[in-house]
Amino acid sequence: MPDIGSDAPDFTLPDNKREAVTLSEQRGKNVVLAFFPAAFTGVCEKELCTFRDSLAQFNELDAAVYGVCVDAPFANAAFAERNKLNFPILSDYARKAVQAYGVAHDDFAGLAGYTAAKRSVFVVDKEGKLRFAWVADNPGQEPDYDAVQAAVRALG
């Protein structure tokens, strides 16, 4: 996992509309990256819906929120539509971002050779520096949403 204060690993991933999103092009605003293991699973739905319901507060803090999942853009689009998500879900189908952020969950759910994302949240500041990182001990654990907002609020 990259160190707090270091440059956040850059990536370009397709969103749920299959449009490319490049992290470094988000400079000038704070970014919350919410990595999650799989669309259409209970804890993931709860987590992403919690971010959905607090998006206005993140917007007030000049922060963009992105979900990141290894599922295909098509599955992510259906997941976003079903849950009325109001922020993009990025598809890390090649697993480059999960590797760069050190959150690859190999052999996920006992499936040999299948790599998902560990549930994790990263906050990147306006200059592209990593300012907050949280990685779940197990996929059923949700982030401390207040801590994520506090990390963004501390960026000013």
CATH number where 109 lies: 3.40.30.10
75 in a structural domain: yes
DSSP one-letter string for 82-108: HTT-SS-EEE-TT-HHHHHTT-EETTG
**Catalytic: which of 8, 32, 34, 44?**
44
62 in a structural domain: yes
45-90: per-residue pLDDT in tens?
Answer: 999 999 999 999 999 999 999 999 999 999 999 999 999 999 999 9
68 in a structural domain: yes
CA distance 74 to 60: 30
3 in a structural domain: no
Query: What global pTM score does this model have?
Result: 0.95
69 is catalytic: no
Residue span of the structural domain in which 76 resides: 14-19+27-153
96 in a structural domain: yes
9 in a structural domain: no
97-142: per-residue pLDDT in tens?
Answer: 999 999 999 999 999 999 999 999 999 999 999 999 999 989 899 9
Mean pLDDT, rounded, for 139-149: 93
Q: pLDDT value at position 156? A: 78
| Count: domains in the chain | 1
Residue length of the chain: 156
98 in a structural domain: yes
Examine the pLDDT at 41 and tell me if it is beyond 90: no
Residue 65: strand pairing partners: 32
